[in-house]
Structure 1
Amino acid sequence: MPSSFRIRPAAQADGAFLGDMVVEAANWRQGGQRPRHEVIGHPEYHRYITGWMRPGDAGVIALDAQEQPIGAAWYRILPRTDPGFGYVATGVPELIVGVRPIWRAHGVGRALLQRLCEIARSQGHARISLSVERGNYAQTLYRTEGFAVTQAGHGRDTMVKRLR
């Protein structure tokens, strides 16, 4: 059973791990796992990690007791010309959360999400957005952390949290 973890700021060197976490986020369902190269190579996912860490990017990494990365949450400010799944407006950061399966339902995602929202607020952002596929158990987490559905799409919802 997973034990304790800690959270540290994400660095430029964490780009490859963020790629792993995009794969975890995309493969939230049991079974039906999409291979890493397929997820990372897909433009809809690639935009979340390419060129990490750009101006405006921010993130946090969860580490286990052995200092191994177990989860991440980060955001990017994507342009209207290349929006992400959860794009709502120019200048609104869009976040992504990924946690290794063995660490899910142990508070890692919630801790990462809370810390990232604190960072976004401290950087002057009024809102933060995300996209979640319908049926993903993380929807409950997002709702309890103050996110509300603002747009319903094809099998996924865009959720926004007001930060101030």
Structure 2
Amino acid sequence: MNYTIRELREEEYYLLEDFLYEAIFQPDETDLVPKSIIYKPELHIYIEHFGEKTEDFCLCAEVDNKVVGAVWVRNINGYGKVDEVTPEFAISLYKDFRGYGIGTELMQEMLKHLKQAGHIKVSLAVQKANYARNLYKKVGFQIVDENEEEYIMVRSIQ
């Protein structure tokens, strides 16, 4: 599949609502949560006023002039917070574009950006049942903590 990875433009930030929803692990595709769930404060923090914080940064994947996936970082008090300076990672792709290596490349490009920006690590949270945890391990994330439902993972950037 041919795709391009580029920085998400400010006028495209509204797309983060779709990608935040796509990032929600939903094991039963016959019983999806309503999209309005992204407006819960604990989720909306991942996209609310995106671009206003110095460390807000997003890359996207584009296929045939359509944005089909995104990876973004923010320094927020989210599910994967490990300390005050480590940005938290979020990533998702539309279902039809999963399994082509796009997510892996988006993550690798974001890791390059974070290194250039001077970060030493990045974190994320992933539900234990989510198959994406294997992708995160593949690109170097390690489990540093867990609770009943999620793993907290960190990737050093050197």
Common fold: TM-score over 0.5: yes
User: Aligned partners of 1:119, 1:48: CA distance in 2, in Å?
Assistant: 19
The structure 1 residue matched to 2:84, chosen from 66, 83, 90, is: 90
The structure 2 residue matched to 1:24, chosen from 22, 35, 40, is: 22
Task: Name 2:114's counterpart in structure 1.
Answer: 120
Task: Name 1:161's counterpart in structure 2.
Answer: 155
* Superposition pairs of residues 13-162 of structure 1, within 5 angstroms: 13-31=11-29, 32-38=31-37, 40-54=38-52, 55-64=54-63, 66-78=64-76, 83-162=77-156
User: Aligned partners of 1:100, 1:139: CA distance in 2, in Å?
Assistant: 17
**Letter paired with 1:6:** T
User: Aligned partners of 1:148, 1:96: CA distance in 2, in Å?
Assistant: 16
Q: 1:30 deviation in Å?
A: 4.2
Conservation of the 8 A alpha-carbon contact between 2:25 and 2:127: no
CA-based RMSD of the aligned residues comes to 1.1
**Given the two structures, how large is their TM-score scaled by the length of structure 2?**
0.94
**Unaligned 5+ runs, structure 1:** none
SS of 1:7's partner is strand
SS of 1:50's partner is coil
User: Aligned partners of 2:110, 2:32: CA distance in 1, in Å?
Assistant: 27
**Letter paired with 2:66:** Q
**Unaligned 5+ runs, structure 2:** none
The 1:149/1:111 distance shift into structure 2, 3 A limit, reads same
Q: Percent identity?
A: 28
Conservation of the 8 A alpha-carbon contact between 1:149 and 1:159: yes
**Given the two structures, how large is their TM-score scaled by the length of structure 1?**
0.91
SS of 1:161's partner is strand
